[in-house]
Amino acid sequence: MNTRSFRHFVNVGLALLCISTATELAGATNYYDQTFTLSDWEFTYTGSITSWYVDRILYGGTAYYRHNHIYLADTFAGYRGCNRWKVPSYDPHTLGAVASIAYSARVMALSNDHVRLAVFQNGVCYSAVQTDFLVPNFNISYVTGYGPGMPSWTRESPSGPPNPDFSTSGSPLQVGYVTYKDGTGTTHDFYITQLSVTFNSVPVATVNGSVVLEDMVVAPTGQVVSVQLFSPGTSTLLGASSTTLTASGMFTTTVLPNDTGPYDIRIKSDHWLAKRVPSVTESGGLYAVSTGLTNGDIDGDNQITIFDYSVLSTYFDKSASDLDWNSVGANGYRPSDADLDEDGAVTIYDYQILSTNFDKIGDS
């Protein structure tokens, strides 16, 4: 299964926090910031504190981003710091729906400091509950587990949607982390470096198809077909694309779905009824589908009815030599729309096609 990755790195550190649910694959897009400079970050907080500052320090030649605060209240219920990395965003619309997120960082703390993975979408900060990691007195610890397949988010911002949207309709996502501390009236002295975040997208679905456009008397070269991917047995549309056929009726297209396969694949073209092929699985990196489409749907409503007959009757005996062949008439259709066999004329042969398939309905 082809998985594309989008990865951020800041590369230096001491103690290691590692939160991961996906293996990094070849083709990852990497961003590096080896200095961890203040200008690369934006810091906000919620709750009550008596003092705070954020700065950059060098420890053993390594740059760390330091947070120092004194709390007035229990920080789990009160203070949280949201830290946003101002690097290029991951855009699900162009890079694909997020399947999982891998996260790691090197951190130091005085005692009982917590750190979580955070994502920012439309200015709203969310922390991932599964990545809550306690940093006790500089000890080295490892934890694993997080991905949108098991989401549990805390919205840190005062308003906004309750959860981030990882689908292809979601807005761009930026990454960061949230810190907080156990206890009341205590000092929070937290250091972080080597932050790594990898967005692993839902794989691109490559669909390889063979389509027979029934009753067409010429080669289907350039004929447009729509390709839709559905969750099997449901009306949930996961992704769509359009492409053209070769002279032999073949096509290959890629789709950015919102979930992994298998898929029900629905094919539709012009005046042919839609056909839905169920539960197509990946094989050799491709989703292969082969089907034939029934002719006669002139008005494009995915059924062959009296309305299609009406359009054909209106344009009977029209041909490609007529000046209005491709002009839309008062009924909203062109004479060429009624040329079901694509031979350049509306004739008795088109009537025969419509009559044979009358009352048929395409797959939803």
Domains belonging to the chain, first-starting first, are 5-201 (2.60.120), 204-293 (2.60.40.4130), 301-364 (1.10.1330.10)
CA atoms within 13 A on the CB side of 72: 8
Amino acid 52: pLDDT: 64
- The angle at the Cα of 356, spanning 319 to 337, to the nearest 5 degrees, equals 30
Confidence of residue 182 (pLDDT cuts 50, 70, 90): low
Q: Is the pLDDT of residue 95 over 70?
A: yes
Q: Is the pLDDT of residue 7 over 70?
A: no
Q: Is the pLDDT of residue 319 over 50?
A: yes
Question: pLDDT above 70 covers what percent of the chain?
Answer: 77
Helix (H, G, I), strand (E, B) or coil at 280: strand
Q: Is the pLDDT of residue 147 over 80?
A: no
Question: φ, ψ for residue 106 (rounded to 5)?
Answer: -105, 130
Amino acid 157: pLDDT: 86
Amino acid 61: pLDDT: 73
Kindly state the DSSP code that residue 130 receives in the 8-state scheme.
G
Q: Which residue has the higher pLDDT, 161 or 47?
A: 161
Amino acid 35: pLDDT: 67
Amino acid 138: pLDDT: 53
- Which range (9-18, 43-52, 152-161) has the least confidence? 9-18
Long-range contacts of 59-62 (CB under 8 A, 24+ apart): 59/14, 59/191, 62/12, 62/13, 62/14, 62/193
Residue with tokens 């390594």: 62
Can you give the pTM of this predicted structure?
Answer: 0.63
Residue 116 has which token pair? 């979580």
Confidence of residue 253 (pLDDT cuts 50, 70, 90): very high
Report the alpha-carbon distance of residue 5 to residue 201 in Å, rounded. Answer: 6
